[in-house]
Amino acid sequence: MKILVVDDSRVMRQIVVRTLRQAGYGKCEIVEAGDGAEAIDKVGQEQPDLVLSDWNMPNMSGLDLLNRLRADGDGRPFGFVTSEGSEPMRNSAESAGANFLIAKPFTPEQFRDALEPVLG
Amino acid sequence: MSAMIDTEVPAEVLVDIVGDVFESLLGEEAGRPYLVPYAEVGTPVSSEIGIDGGWSGRVVLRMPRAMAEHITGTLFALPADLVAESDLRDVIGELINVIGGNVKGMLPGTNALTLPSTDLEPGAETDRTALCLQWAGQPIHISMPTVPTGLAEPTPSGTEADTERSEP
């Protein structure tokens, strides 16, 4: 099982990886990208089972990343991990084809609840 | 206490947001910042994020550099004196990014969030409306100055208020 963590903040990628471990996904292989554009390359190279992406990033936002993947026919599981958890954001995420949205700050329990239906 | 002026987010809610972010990043044992009377932040660093739309302004965080270095060291598991400036910018930028995102969700209308910007040598404090919180015995300022639409953009990279954040 491979998870791609996309965030322009190095510390936040580290915190997401730590939280994945705490949520019981410590055995997953983790790959990282610093923005949406880098994530496009990593998806092609690494073929992750799940993409966990920030929304607000330079170069290519998380929403643009998701739109690009879906436009290319890539339906792999995709979840946002973002500081904006309002209903309009959740609706936008769902409309674009995201499986879930986890709002920062988050807990390992929230990760487990969001990832379990997707990864089992 | 209602120290904030001219904003849609009550002081208590803003304090809660900052508390949740600190607790989530640093653990319950680190304690939550709490509201105290205004005090100057010595040798500060700052980060800010713009919000533009139904409410247009900035959310600004100032804290002592030593506190920012301590937090950064804790998060990267490094001694505070070995913290790189790029990591310091990354951490204070992400702090305001999470705080700003939470604030944005409480504001009226449709709003857009800019990317965060950071400043490791900000000028003297001019915003006396800032909320003053205390954490680890030191003051932290959080403020929400309003600005005209279109001005809530991050300062271009390479200037004093640098948008650069650490990359892998």
pTM above 0.90, yes or no: no
Contact A9 B94 (CB under 8 A): yes
* pLDDT reported for residue B162: 46
**How many Cβ atoms sit within 10 Å of the Cβ of residue A77?**
17
CA distance B42 to B139: 9
H or E stretch covering A45: helix A36-46
Q: Kindly report the average pLDDT of chain A as a whole number.
A: 96
Of B75, B98, B166, which has the smallest distance from its Cβ to A83's Cβ? B98
State yes or no: cis peptide before B10, omega within 30 of 0. Answer: no
Using one digit for the tens of pLDDT, what is the confidence trace for A12-37?
A: 999 999 999 999 999 999 999 999 99
Nearest CA in chain A to B157: A58
Q: Is B157 on the interface with A (CB under 8 A)?
A: no
* pLDDT reported for residue B166: 39
Contact B167 A11 (CB under 8 A): no
CA distance B55 to B144: 11
Nearest CA in chain B to A106: B24
- In a mutational test of the B interface, the residue from A54, A81, A83 whose CB has the highest number of chain B CBs within 10 Å is A83
* pLDDT reported for residue B158: 35
Task: Please compute Rg for chain B using Cα positions.
Answer: 15
In chain B, residues with a C-beta closer than 8 Å to the C-beta of A56 are 97, 101, 113, 115
A49 Cα to chain B: minimum distance (Å): 22
- DSSP secondary structure letters along B12-69: HHHHHHHHHHHHHHH-GGG---EE-S--PPSSEEEEEEEEEESS-EEEEEEEEHHHHH
H or E stretch covering A97: none
**How many Cβ atoms sit within 10 Å of the Cβ of residue B17?**
22
Q: How confident is the model at residue A45 (pLDDT cuts 50, 70, 90)?
A: very high
Q: What is the mean pLDDT for each group of 10 consecutive residues in chain B (168 residues)?
A: 59 94 90 94 95 92 96 93 95 97 90 95 81 96 78 42 42
Q: Which residue has the higher pLDDT, A88 or A29?
A: A29
B104: tokens are 């944005």
* pLDDT reported for residue B7: 62
Nearest CA in chain A to B27: A107
Using one digit for the tens of pLDDT, what is the confidence trace for B117-133?
A: 999 999 876 678 899 99
